[in-house]
């Protein structure tokens, strides 16, 4: 086909870029499935494009994916407003920590406008220049700088002050799993920060606290109750790993469903606990 090259050429160019495009889309949307759909739609558009006229395929495809995500975010905002209980992004479980975009930062991104989110992620996380961002979001470069600066100010508190060394993070995750599942409340108490919080996303599909549980006393009391349940019904470890950049673990609970636990660590203590229990957001882990 004139001006488009062959199907094989298009695939050969696209496939090496797919993982990077999915990273962009996932961090925009917080959903693995939606990110994969956006990237697949970008591929369909790439196949139909005049590819000979595209001088930089990666930039072209990144713009396409970002625009698709911006469209998706408009409808996603309504879904968030009607969501049952706390909303957490779908867990990405990896062997290595991703310190660029951890779970607390992804939650902070939810408070940004779609354009602020795009400008911040593209520039601060993926290193894209403001000239390209301007083409992507159809604003001038100066406006894009302002969007990124506003976003940076909003998410500053969510950036980790001290990165937890990989092995130390996994050791803390192992200790937390052992203490919480065995009912060793003395060990668990020693791990929790005074202002610890716990966030559980059940999506209305599985039992989960309908609001964040805040403070040492409330989180400790909740784990006392959970320990009794674990003793009676069990909780099987699947693996220790990093969940959205945080040390944590994957378990199979008594109801047969998977669960991820991610631990935000500050000054050697567990400052926040994030539980994903919504089965719709765990399908990709089965």
Based on DSSP, count helices (H) and strands (E) in the chain, helices before strands.
Answer: 11, 7
Kindly report the pTM of this predicted structure. Answer: 0.88
- Give the residue among 217, 220, 198 at the shortest CA–CA distance from 209: 198
CATH number of 100-159: 1.10.10
Q: Give ranges for CATH 3.10.450.50 in the chain.
A: 166-285
Asked whether the predicted pLDDT for residue 180 surpasses 90, the reply is: yes
CATH of 166-285, one of 3.40.109.10, 3.30.470.20, 3.10.450.50, 3.40.50.720: 3.10.450.50
Asked whether the predicted pLDDT for residue 77 surpasses 70, the reply is: no
Q: pLDDT value at position 3?
A: 47
Q: pLDDT value at position 7?
A: 79
Express as a percent the part of the chain with pLDDT over 70. 94
Do residues 109 and 121 touch, judged by C-beta distance below 8 A?
yes
Q: pLDDT value at position 231?
A: 84
Q: Give ranges for CATH 1.10.10 in the chain.
A: 100-159
User: What's the rounded Cα separation, in Å, for the pair 256 and 244?
Assistant: 23
User: What's the rounded Cα separation, in Å, for the pair 167 and 211?
Assistant: 32
Where is mean pLDDT largest: 84-88, 130-134, 252-256? 130-134
CA dihedral for 61, 62, 66, 67, sign (positive or negative): negative
Topology of domain 1-82 in CATH is: Rna Polymerase Sigma Factor; Chain: A (1.10.1740)
CA angle 276, 280, 285 (to 5 degrees): 70
Q: Give ranges for CATH 1.10.1740 in the chain.
A: 1-82
Do residues 109 and 24 touch, judged by C-beta distance below 8 A?
no
**φ, ψ for residue 215, nearest 5 deg:** 95, 155
Asked whether the predicted pLDDT for residue 76 surpasses 70, the reply is: no
Q: Per mean pLDDT, which range of 129-143, 157-171, 224-238 is the poorest? A: 157-171
Please report which confidence band the pLDDT of residue 98 belongs to, taking 50, 70 and 90 as the band edges.
confident
């Amino acid at each position: 086909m004139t001006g488009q090259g062959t199907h094989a050429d298009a695939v050969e160019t696209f496939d090496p870029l797919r993982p990077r495009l999915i990273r962009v889309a996932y961090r925009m949307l917080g959903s693995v499935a939606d990110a994969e759909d956006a990237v697949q739609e970008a591929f369909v558009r790439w196949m139909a494009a005049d590819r000979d006229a595209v001088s930089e395929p990666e930039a072209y495809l990144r713009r396409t994916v970002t625009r698709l995500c911006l469209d998706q975010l408009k409808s996603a905002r309504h879904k968030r407003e009607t969501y049952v209980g706390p909303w957490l992004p779908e867990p990405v479980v990896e062997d290595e920590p991703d310190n660029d975009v951890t779970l607390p930062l992804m939650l902070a991104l939810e408070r940004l406008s779609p354009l602020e989110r795009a400008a911040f992620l593209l520039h601060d996380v993926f290193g894209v220049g403001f000239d390209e961002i301007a083409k992507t979001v159809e604003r001038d470069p100066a406006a894009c700088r302002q969007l990124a600066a506003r976003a940076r100010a909003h998410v500053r508190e969510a950036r980790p002050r001290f990165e937890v060394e990989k092995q130390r993070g996994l050791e803390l995750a192992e200790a937390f799993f052992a203490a919480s599942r065995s009912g060793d409340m003395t060990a668990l108490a020693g791990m929790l920060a005074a202002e610890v919080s716990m966030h559980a996303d059940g999506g209305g599909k599985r039992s989960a606290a309908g609001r964040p549980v805040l403070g040492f006393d409330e989180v400790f009391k909740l784990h006392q109750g959970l320990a009794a349940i674990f003793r009676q019904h069990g909780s099987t470890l699947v693996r220790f790993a990093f969940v959205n950049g945080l040390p944590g673990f994957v378990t199979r609970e008594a109801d047969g469903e998977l669960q991820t636990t991610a631990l935000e660590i500050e000054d050697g203590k567990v400052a926040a606990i994030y539980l994903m229990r919504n089965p719709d957001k765990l399908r990709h882990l089965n």
